[in-house]
Amino acid sequence: MSEAARVMIVDDDRAIRWVLERALAQPDLEVECVERADRVLPRLLEEPPDVLVTDIRMPGIDGLDLMARVREAHPDLPVIVMTAHSDLDSAVASYQGGAFEYLPKPFDVDEALVLVRRAVAHARERQRPVTPPEGLETEIIGEAPAMQEVFRAIGRLAQSHITVLINGESGTGKERVAQALHQHSPRGSRPFIALNMAAIPRDLIESELFGHEKGAFTGATAQRQGRFEQADGGTLFLDEIGDMPAETQTRLLRVLADGEFYRVGGHTPVKVDVRIIAATHQHLEELVDEGRFREDLFHRLNVIRIHLPKLADRREDIPRLARHFLAEAAKELATDVKVLTEEAEEHLTRLAWPGNVRQLENTCRWLTVMASGREVLVEDLPPELRDGESGGASGDWRLSFRDWADRALAAGHTHLLEEAVPDFEKILIETALKHTGGRKGEAAELLGWGRNTLTRKLKTLMPEMAED
C-alpha cells in the first residue's frame, strides 16, 4: 500500500478548516490545518507537503503570495486556491500564479476531496519519468488500413515529379501528405510553397500565383514574385483547388502545359519548373459537370489521386494521434506532457470528430492548457466532447446501452428489462432476417435459436411477419 499523501490546509476561517479536515480524513490522506501562512512558511519551504490548499485573503501573508514563495522553491507542488470572493480577477491571478485548481467557496466537500486526490495523483505522476510517445518523429501517423494505402502511395511516388490530387474532408491532413510527397521526392531540398485558394480574395489570386510588375495596379509599387516563382525547382501546393476562379483556372492550365506564364501587368514570359500538388474537399467531377471547374484542368491535375479518410474511418489511430499531439502541444507551450487515462482515450475514440485530425489536434492543445492535472480524465474534456455523441455504429454499443439505462433510471423509469429486452430481440431478429433475405430457418441459426423459438418470438414481437 502506498504511503499516505500529506495535505496542508491554510485558512484563517476555523469552520473551513474543520469541514476540510473531516472531509479529507481518509486512510490515504494525512491532513494538517494551520491558521496563518507566515507561521508555517519556513516549514513549508523546508518540508513541502504533497498538496497545499490555501485561502487567498488571510492576515499576514495572503494565499497568492504564499503560493508564489512555495512554488519558487518547489515548482512541482500542486496548490489549490480557495476564496469566498469568486471573481474573475481572483481566478486569473490564481492560475497565472501556477495554481493547480481554483476552488470558490462555498464548495461541495465531495468535490474538494476529488480535487485533492487529483492533485495528489498529479504530484506523484510528475515524479515518474516521461517516455516520449511512439511515432513522435514521424510526419504522418496512421496504422489504419486506409492510411496504409496513403503511405503506399507516397512510397510509390517517392522518386516522381508527377502531379498529384489529394481528396479528403477539411482537417484530414492534406497539407501534411503534400509535404511528405515533397520531402520524399527529388525536389525535397527545394522550396515547398503552399497556397489556399479559399483564403485569398478573388481579385488577388492571380497576383499571388503569378506575381505582378511595378505599376500593374494601384498599390503595386514594386515588382513582386508570385508563388510559382517562389516554388521554382520545388513544389507548389494548391489547397482547395475547387475554389479557384474560372479565369485563374485558364491561366493555370497554360502554365501546366507550357511551363511559363506572365506576371500581372507583364509582357515577358517567366519560365518555371514546378511540381503541382492540388487538394480539395469537394468532388471535382461534380464541379466539372456543373460547369464550375474546367474539365481539361481536372484531367491535368487528376494524374494520381490520393484519398485521405476522415478520422471517424480510422478510429484505431486516435489514441496514437492524441499522444502525438499532446506531446507536440507540451513542447510548443513549454509545459509537461498530459497523459490520457484509459477511459478518456476510449471516449475520444468513440466520438464523431466532424473536424477530423485538425479538431483532435486543437482539442489536445486545449487540454494541455486547461486540464488541471497531468492525467487527463473524461471530465477534463471540453463540454461539447464530454457530452457529445459517439461515432454511431463504430462505437461500442454496450456503452451506448449503459448510457440509455443510466438516463432511464435517472428519469424515474422502472421495469427496464420489460422495456429493453423485447426491443433488443426485435432488432436482432430484423437484422438476421435482412441478412438471410427473409429465410427464417437460416435467421434462427444465425441467432443461435431453433426454428420454433424464432416462430414463437415473431408471433409475440412481430405478428405481421409470423406467417410463412
Summarize pLDDT for 267-301 with one digit per residue, the tens: 889 999 999 999 999 999 999 999 999 999 999 99
Q: What is the pLDDT of residue 156?
A: 84
Q: Provide the residue ranges of all domains of the chain, joining segments of one domain with +.
A: 5-127, 150-307, 312-387, 409-465
Is residue 320 within 8 A of residue 134, CB to CB? The reply is yes
| Cis bond upstream, residue 129 (ω within 30) | no
Architecture of domain 312-387: Orthogonal Bundle (1.10)
Is residue 355 within 8 A of residue 316, CB to CB? The reply is no
Q: What is the pLDDT of residue 132?
A: 38
- The CATH number fitting domain 5-127, selected from 2.160.10.10, 3.30.930.10, 3.40.50.2300, 3.40.920.10: 3.40.50.2300
What separation in angstroms does the CA of 337 have from each of 128, 344, 371? Answer: 12, 15, 11
Q: What is the pLDDT of residue 391?
A: 47
Same fold, 5-127 and 150-307: yes
Looking at the chain, the number of H-run helices and the number of E-run strands are 20, 14
Angle (deg, nearest 10), helices 37-46 and 63-73: 10
> CB under 8 Å to 161, separation ≥6 — which residues?
185, 186, 187, 275
CATH topology for 150-307 is: Rossmann fold (3.40.50)
Q: What is the pLDDT of residue 393?
A: 40
CA-CA distance, 163 to 27, in Å (whole number)? 67
Nearest to 207, CA basis, from 190, 229, 178: 229
CA-CA distance, 228 to 230, in Å (whole number)? 5
29-60 tens-digit pLDDT: 899 999 988 888 888 888 889 999 988 888 88
**What size, in residues, is the chain?**
468
CATH topology for 409-465 is: Arc Repressor Mutant, subunit A (1.10.10)
- Cβ burial of 418 (10 Å; 0-12, 13-18, 19+) is exposed
Point out the residues of the chain with pLDDT beneath 50: 1, 129-138, 390-395
